[in-house]
Amino acid sequence: MDSESGGGLVLQGMNKHFGRVHAVRDVSLEVPAGEFFTLLGPSGCGKTTLLRIIAGLEMPDEGRVLLGGKDITDLPATRRQVNTVFQSYALFPHLTVFENVAFGLRSRKFPQDEINERVGKRLEMLGLEEMAQRRPDQLSGGQKQRVALARALVNEPEVLLLDEPMSALDAKLRAQVQVELRRLQQKLGRTFILVTHDQDEAMVVSDRIAVMRDGAVIQSGTPEEVYDAPRTRFVAEFLGAANLISGKVVDGGLQTELGFLHLEETPPWSQGTVAIRPEWIRLHESPPAQNGIRGRVREVIFRGTDYDLWMEPGPLRVRSHTYKHFKPGDEIWLELAPDELVVLHEA
């Protein structure tokens, strides 16, 4: 499926200002039908504004929104086949769970039979049948979230928008809900667009991620692409941990304060930064053939399956499995292999 068919979404040249704040800058995106797409970025990066533009709750200053090949930029929210799960869920406090879920069908005057059937089906799918007659204030956070999800999905939207839907849940429940959400999306085969500032969440659920900063999309791709080959310092640091090493290009490599490092590709700059993730650094008893650095353990942090080692020189951060024991003061060889060093595309 592609972005022309039902549920495929295209954003072209989006721009939005709030007073003097440039909230969305020249954003163009294509989301094929059936994809789980995530807008990832720190708060205030414009991701929620972009979501609200897709929902029709905000008008862009410039740019078009195309849904299934049709231009819906000028359609109000009430006439878009797009539904939203709001950050605070925005459940109707005066209505029962059943009536909350039925709201979108009632407002379009569906017959009662069909309302009963469709609402019943969604409540069952999300395990909410018992809650049907309760009011939102009698529900737990996780239940509220599922009601919000059912209320949006009952309308069978071409695109489901999720605005930080898990920020109100505790860490354990969040991890569980992320997996459930991913399964649900795959079962329904619908386009989901999620907004989050949580990089773990983005990687767990998404087919593709767009990393946003200051209103612009900096990099997009599959979670592996974005994690393995971050293009900028910001992306490298925002998604997981990264060691950033600066240096000057000399013949066949990079001269850094840690010493000479061989690189696989020639950087597009003469002076700049390369990144390496803590778990990509290999540890050796004896010097490796290439890119070896003699390091001393300064601090050891136990993380269950791993140790985080803060090394000198550096501060270099290394992640090591627990079956190797280290204590502060130990000396060890670090291998920053050329194929693990990512050249960042910004000087």
Partner 1 sequence: MRRTHPLVTILAMFTMAFLYLPLMAVAVFSVNATKYGLVWRGFTLDWYLKLFHNEVILNAAWNTLVLAVVSTIVSTILGTVLAIGMDRFPWSKRVNTFLDMVLHLPVVIPDIILAAALVVAFGLLRMVSSMFEPGLLNMIIGHITFQIAFVALVVRSRLVSLGQEIEEAARDLFASTGYLLRRVTLPLLLPGIVAGGMLAFTLSLDDFVISFFTAGPESVTLPLYIFAAVRRGVTPQIHALSTLVLLITVILVVGTERFSRRR
Of 271, 252, 277, give the one whose Cα is nearest residue 263. 252
Stretch that binds partner 1, among 21-29, 51-59, 202-210, 301-309 (CB under 8 A): 51-59
Spatial separation of the C-alpha atoms in residues 97 and 150, rounded to whole Å: 10
DSSP string, 275-310: EE-GGG-EEESS--SSSEEEEEEEEEEE-SSEEEEE
- The residue (of 148 and 218) whose beta carbon lies closer to partner 1 is 148
Q: In Å, how far from its chain's centre is CA 78? A: 27
Q: How far is the CB of 95 from partner 1 (least distance, A)?
A: 8
**Do 67 and 80 contact (CB within 8 A), yes or no?**
yes
Q: Does 136 bind partner 1 (CB under 8 A)?
A: no
Which of 70/284 has CB closer to partner 1?
Answer: 70
CB atoms within 10 A of CB 244: 12
Interface residue with partner 1 among 57, 66, 168, 175 (CB under 8 A) is 57
One residue of 143, 145, 155, 185 binding partner 1 per CB under 8 A: 155
Site string for partner 1, 76-105 (x = CB under 8 A): xxxx--xxx-x-x-xxxxx--------xx-
For residue 3, state whether it binds partner 1 (rule: CB under 8 A). no
Q: Does 269 bind partner 1 (CB under 8 A)?
A: no
**Nearer residue to partner 1 within complex by CB, 91 or 316:** 91
Non-local (6+) Cβ contacts of 118 within 8 A are: 105, 110, 154
Query: How far is C-alpha 16 from the geometric centre of its chain's CA atoms?
Result: 22
Nearer to partner 1, 91 or 239 (CB): 91
**Among 22-30, 60-68, 106-114, 290-298, which window interacts with partner 1 (CB under 8 A)?**
106-114
**Site size for partner 1, by CB under 8 A?**
25
Residue 175 has φ and ψ, to the nearest 5°, of -60, -40
Note whether 192 and 209 are within 8 A (CB). Answer: no
Using CB under 8 A, which of the segments 4-12, 37-45, 75-83, 251-259 binds partner 1?
Answer: 75-83
Distance CA 283, CA 51 (A): 44
* Residues near partner 1, by CB under 8 A: 55-57, 76-79, 82-84, 86, 88, 90-94, 103-104, 106-108, 151-152, 155
